[in-house]
Amino acid sequence: MVNSKNLKLFFGTRKESDIPYYEEMKNYEKIIPNFEYIPCLSQEKWEGHNGYVHSAYLPMIDKMDNKPWVYFCGWDRMISEGRKHLSDRGFEMMKDIRVEIFG
């Protein structure tokens, strides 16, 4: 059993057909306490979040009393934008934010 504390995984891609392991990730929501998988589609309307990942997690962060730890993994542009958004909110690299850049 994994012990987690409000773990949210935001996954950004363009279209629903681009989401890998969707059913598996949704099943993890059932077995991992406080885990939520949030795919975000930027170029296709669907039942989940529409838009870039920043528009999904920033409203949640803005409502929090304490800063969460944030880990970005993805394209350089997405990470740069995310770091800027969080820096504007008082987050610091290495203290509050970790990154893994590809592409």
Tell me the pLDDT tens digit for each residue of 21-66.
999 999 999 999 999 999 999 999 999 999 999 999 999 999 999 8
Whole-number pLDDT of residue 96: 92
Q: Give me the residue label for tokens 């997690």.
A: 57
pLDDT of residue 1: 47
Tell me the pLDDT band of 102, cut-offs 50, 70 and 90.
Answer: confident
Is pLDDT at 14 greater than 80 in this prediction? yes
The topology under which CATH files domain 1-66 is: Rossmann fold (3.40.50)
Cβ 83 vs Cβ 93: under 8 Å: yes
Domain boundaries, the chain: 1-66, 67-103
The pLDDT of residue 78: 92
Residue 100 burial (CB count, 10 A): 9
Q: Are 76 and 84 in contact (CB under 8 A)?
A: no
Above pLDDT 70, what percent of the chain?
Answer: 95
